[in-house]
Amino acid sequence: MKLLAHPRPVRRSHKIVIFLLLSWLKLPNITEYNVVKNKLIDIPARNRMLRRVCSLLALLAITLPLLTIAATPAATQNNPSIMLEELTSTELRSRIEQGATTILIPIGGVEQSGPFIALGKHNRRVAVIAAMIAQKLGNTLVAPVVAYVPEGAVNPPTGHMRFSGTISIPPAAFEALLEGAAASFRQHGFRDIIFIGDHGGYQQNEVRVAQKLNRTWGKDDPARVHALLDYYDITQTAFIDDLKKRGFSSADIGLHAGLADASLLLATAPSMVRTGAIAHEPKPGVNDGVRGDATHATAELGRLGIERQIDTSVNVIKTLLHEHHR
């Protein structure tokens, strides 16, 4: 272990622990640095039994986390990650040989969502939900998120490219990327490769790539590519109905960065929503890149949509796998 050149400042919680440990040694008085009054103070001796009880609790507070940390590697080895990029090549080969032959390719994007939602909302959201879907399916892994997607022309800018931070690539480049990823997974032994797109703009690109590869590989090939449109579609149908039943208008729910969008993100990556700004700053509009009103967005509302996305995706994927392998 490398020693620090200068000792780190002692935290207040650590001072308390030191005090309690010294108390265990029955020292009559202890001098402690008072960070509030910026001076040394004398702490008189306390009841011996109270000191011992407190010291024991402090020792437990120190040792229990250490025991938990020590146990973590074994737990990780027995339950390897479902995220492909967290596995070694050898671990991945073993997982495939043991039957994990389905892989989800989550597709996100980097785009503006007004002043209250971070640029990477699609990436974070689809990563979280894809992992939940994989866990429910079993024998399923999750590929790294595809973060570069078509978002409009670059010059002159159209669509979301008119706002700072959006990243756009040509549709042909996007489809070539998906083709290359799917072909790579087929080469490694995956038999069902599933595109899961969090953005509405490239759903048909997923379909074209899936159809092209399946046609090229042929019906007798053990691998198939699936475009899971239901993952996105359910957020535009049943989830919207859920919100309307709770009294929210179409104007509030919105088409982009409104109530629905913000709620889904609050349920998956709340740090990416600027809730303080939503409550205190002027409501943005179309000129700000927003179509909707996120004022009343909550994680609870978002979970309604997330649950629908997970349940719908799992059911559809199970049907696809059954039809492919029957």
Q: What is the pLDDT of residues 242-282, one digit of tens each?
A: 999 999 999 999 999 999 999 999 999 999 999 999 999 99
* Residue 40 parent element (H or E): strand 39-43
The one-letter code for the residue type at 218 is G
CA distance 34 to 55: 20
Six-digit token string for 49: 């039994």
CA distance 59 to 70: 17
Query: What's the whole-number mean pLDDT along residues 114-135?
Result: 98
* Torsion 140-142-143-149 (CA) sign: positive
User: Strands of 192-197's sheet, edge to edge?
Assistant: 140-142, 102-107, 192-197, 224-227
> For residues 287 and 209, is the Cβ–Cβ distance under 8 A?
no
List beta partners, residue 34: 39
Cα 269 from Cα 314, distance rounded (Å):
21
SS3 39: strand
Is residue 294 within 8 Å of residue 270, measured between CB atoms?
no
Domain ranges of the chain: 12-65, 84-325
pLDDT at residue number 73: 37
pLDDT in tens, 203-244: 999 999 999 999 999 999 999 999 999 999 999 999 999 999
pLDDT digits (tens, 9 = 90+) for 12-66: 444 444 444 444 444 444 333 333 344 334 444 444 544 554 444 444 444 444 3
pLDDT at 80: 80
Instruction: Give yes or no for residue 4 having a pLDDT over 50.
Output: no
- Distance CA(271)–CA(118), nearest Å, equals 9
**What's the pLDDT at 326?**
84
CATH class of 84-325: alpha beta
Share of residues in the chain with pLDDT > 90 (%): 75
Which structure tokens are listed for 5?
A: 């050149």
pLDDT in tens, 290-320: 999 999 999 999 999 999 999 999 999 999 9
Cis peptide leading into residue 156 (ω within 30°): yes
- Residue 76 pLDDT > 90: no
pLDDT of residue 17: 43
What's the mean per-residue pLDDT of the chain? Answer: 84
CA distances from 275 to 110, 214, 280, 304 (A): 20, 44, 9, 19
**CB of 184 closer than 8 Å to CB of 144:** no
Cα–Cα distance between 297 and 282 in angstroms, integer? 16
Q: What are phi and psi of 155, to 5 degrees?
A: -145, 110
Kindly tell me if the per-residue pLDDT of 178 is higher than 70. yes
pLDDT above 50 (res 191)? yes
pTM of the model: 0.77
Helices (H), the chain: 12-24, 48-78, 89-97, 121-137, 171-188, 203-217, 230-236, 238-245, 250-253, 259-266, 275-280, 299-325
Can you give the pLDDT at residue 53? 46
